[in-house]
Structure 1
Amino acid sequence: MATTARQSEAQAQFQFTKQPYVEDVGPRKIQSIKFSMMSGPEIMKASEVQVYDSGFYDQNIKPKKNALLDSRMGPAGSKMGIICETCHGDFANCPGHYGYLHLCLLVFNVGYFNAILNILKCICKSCARILLSEKERVSYLKKMRNPKAEALQKTATAKAILKSCKPKTCSRCGYINAVVKKAGTVMGIIHDRSKKFTDDTDKECKAALSGTRIQILNPVRVLGLFKRILDQDCELLYLSDRPEKLIITDILVSPTAIRPSSFVDGGRSNEDDITSKLNTIIQTNASLRQDLDGKKSTSQCLGDWELLQVEVAQYINSEVRGVPLSMMQSSKPLRGFVQRLKGKQGRFRGNLCGKRVEYTARTVISPDPNLKITE
């Protein structure tokens, strides 16, 4: 009886609900808010289940385990009578729970691709130190640490640092750094050192370095460089968090509450665009894992790796440019997260800012609201 009472008290204390959580701790003052990306371990910690199986339902029309509609992430629909296995709530009461999808190879985050490119332009591609002299580094670091400096001033300082980090030989390790630019692929980055070798370069050096003139900076190598960047150099680049979080190792699978499933005539299920794209990513990830385990050719592995990069990029932003026609899954692109948020039909302008309120008027020709009525 005592054990049952303690269990009921614990359930009452940690009850899942869709109501906003309000902690009764008295008045407090918020000092700061920090926005950053979630790392792989943080994604796993926030998740309830690992998703690795493709498909949606089994033969008994029940959500498959470790798939995108797993009941541990919440009920898949309102008319199915499914109960959440995590909080034991139905579709109306379950707030939804996250899952995670582990990628067998890393990919770039399309939303921060330009930021990744700028960081690579500023660091040595061998020792990962910033391409500034010690005198310049100390001077810029003093400006970034100035307590009176505002955000706009620090942004201007970061832009000045980016201009100062020109392609040159590293003063610390002697590595020859050249131009870093986008490759011809969708999310490719190359380190072009061909212009650094002139006619005066020693013949033996040319022969030894002939295979390293144009280097491909894939996500695995970029992650290795980012992990070796010093915290002081992160301050110079005006980064609020570690740069290795810009490389995707795990995908956070959203709860089924925001991508519900429904059945149409004929017993077929109609899935959300996010669910369909995640299913494609799972299939591509499984194919790439089979290629790596089966020791397939390098060209085939690289092709599947590039396809995985494209699928993850379209999962975030379905309007990403430069996708080859051979990698287009269908003529009608699926809506990614960016398309759900931006624009007139997005969440902010279409839902949050478009509320209709009684006893109010709307005008589109009003002047400055700060003016007085008599002005």
Structure 2
Amino acid sequence: MKKRILALMIIAVLVLSTVLTGCGTSETAEIEEAQVIKLGFIGPLTGDYSLYGVSNDEGVRLAVEEINAAGGVNGKMLEVVSYDSKGDKTEGVNAYNRLRDQDGITALLGATFSGVTLSVKEIAVEDGMPVLTPTATHADVTIDAPNVFRACYTDAYQGITAAVFAAENLGATKAAILYNTEDAYSEGLAVSFNEKFAENGTVTSYEGYTKNDADFKTVLTKIQAENPDVLFLPDYIAKVGTILAQIEEIGLDVVCIGVDGWDGIEEDYADVAEGHYFVNHYAKTDEAEIVQNFIAAYEEMWDKTPNALAALGYDAAYIMKDALEKAGSEDSEAIIAALAETDSDGVTGHIVFDENGDPQKSISVIQIVDGTHVLAAKVSGN
């Protein structure tokens, strides 16, 4: 009988110990959760356009690692929760809903692409969520959205810059435009280039294609007959590489000008990209200390050279860190107000937001020479 009572007492102690241990684990988890500020990220992490999302994400994560190593923000560590949009608007909206409802993010860094960001924006504005996209350049991203900011310049700005460079630096008087009609980013750039170049030159062709098109020889032959000085190609690497290859195949002699979506094109298409130009957010050859320190840290962490999307992701994370510190809390309105007052140096330039949440900063024009970037011109954001 005594042995039975002793056994029951031991079991009771073990059960009580388990219960108390469970409570302790729950409380510890809650405490740990309270010591973290979660930032959401949305971008294409798989598929044809994964280069862009992965680069964004890696830049963000490098910055967050540095920030946490330096003590975090307001006594808390930053945590990045990333979701793959696959470059699809619906996937992007679903990702945002998960980040808001399941992960409990304080702010969003994203999305990478303009089309996805525009879809997410509609919900985020209603939520009052602080949003800072590293790379969504479409003009409408920040319109009627006091909570939305961007680290990159706008499509209009880079389209205008490309047109000015074509006319003033290359002496072009005739230009053709070939763009993706199903992509807001590509279309916005085409519009701004067309309007600016037409002020003093002639736009010989304004042609479009869809995302599934793969044979461009017919439209390129039409452009060839018009003999333009330059061809503006505002799209991403996968599509542009195909177009450049077919330009070479048909013997079209024209200088092509691209946009920030070309960044990294030399990795897979160096031969067909040779001699052509594109506008970009930063130049790897910039000798500024902040630029070279970033490149060194990125190469050490990811074992590769950063492109502009990585630099913008990095800058976006630091801009958000500064806003969180200035706000002194995770209150959305306070963070948004702090973002609006941004005045800081980044890898991609000195960043001050205008009334729409768009940065005023410098822009680089890069030429591909022997498979590497050569800075052809640099234009002030002012």
Structure with bigger helix share is: 2
Structure with bigger strand share is: 2
Q: TM-score range by the shorter chain?
A: under 0.3
Higher radius of gyration, 1 or 2: 1
* TM-score, with length taken from structure 1: 0.23
* TM-score, with length taken from structure 2: 0.23
